Amino acid sequence: MSEQILRSCADGVCELRFNRPEKRNAITHQMYQALAAHLHAALADETVRVVLLSGAGAGFSAGNDLNDFLSGPEFTRAHPVMDVLRTLATFDKPLVAAVHGPTIGIGVTLLLHCDLVVAAQGTQLIMPFVALGLVPEAGSSLLLPRLVGPQRAAELLLLGEPLDAARAAELGLVNRVVEADKVLDEARTLAQRLARQPAEALRATKRLLRGDAAELLARIEAEAEVFGARLKSQEFRAQVRAVLAKGRG
C-alpha cells in the first residue's frame, strides 16, 4: 500500500497531501496518525515555515472513512483525530490549503483552521454531520458561526447545504477561487510568499489573529464527547448503513 499522506518539503514549505484517491481521500485511523506525526514534525523543524495541505485525485477529502469508524478502534479522546485537531487549533505556523472537487465533513472543517485557502472552480463543500446522525467537530460549532454568522452556520450544519467555490468565497471560507488546473500552483505561490516573510513576525501575527486557543480547545473536547456518543447510537449506524448501501447500488 502506498503512503496515504505524502510529504514533501522545499524552500520553507512543507506540503502534506492526502493520497488515497481511490477512496476520494476518505481519512482513516492510520491516516490521522500519519497526519498528526507530520504536523508535529513540521512544528519541530525550524526550516519549515509554512504547511500546505492538498489532496490527490478527484477531490480534497471525502471526510472520515465511515467503514473505518464502524469497524475500527473505538472513538475516544485518545483517537488520533483528536491529536490532529488539538494540533491544528494551536498550530503557530501558517497553514495553507488547496481544495478541489467534493470536499466533505472534516475535509471542510479543517479548513477553518487554515490561514489561507485556495479553491478550484467546481469545488463543493458539504458538512453532512446531522444527515449521518452525528454532530460537527474540529471546533466548527464555534468557528463557523464566528465566520459566517449564526443563521448561515445553522443552514450549513443543520441542513448540510452544499457550497460551491464562489459562495464559499463570498462567505469567507476560502480566499481565492481559480481554475481547477491552477489551484495547487496558486496555493504553492501563496505558501512560498508566506515562507519568505520574517518567521518570528509571521508566527506572532498568527497567534494574535487567533487569540486565546483555550475556548477553541474546550469546544473541540465538548464536540468530541457528543460525537463519540453519537457514533454508538442506532441512529448513526442506520444512517451509515443506508449511505453505504446507496454507494453499492
Can you give the residue ranges of every domain in the chain?
5-181
Output the pLDDT for position 66: 84
Output the pLDDT for position 197: 98
Residues 6 or more apart whose CB falls under 8 angstroms from that of 143 comprise 109, 112, 113, 216
Q: How many residues does the chain have?
A: 249
Q: Copy the grid coordinates of residue 19.
A: 493520497
The gap from C-alpha 172 to its chain's centroid, in whole angstroms, comes to 16
Show pLDDT as tens, one digit a residue, over the chain (249 residues).
Answer: 469 999 999 999 999 999 999 999 999 999 999 999 999 999 999 999 999 999 999 999 999 998 887 777 788 888 999 999 999 999 999 999 999 999 999 999 999 999 999 999 999 999 999 999 999 999 999 999 999 999 999 999 999 989 999 999 999 999 999 999 999 999 999 999 999 999 999 999 999 999 989 999 999 999 999 999 999 999 998 998 888 787 664
Classify each residue of 164-180 as buried b or exposed e, where b means 16 or more C-beta atoms within 10 Å of its C-beta: ebeebbebebbbebbee
CATH superfamily of 5-181: 2-enoyl-CoA Hydratase; Chain A, domain 1 (3.90.226.10)
Q: Tell me if 55 sits within 8 A of 23, measured CB to CB.
A: no
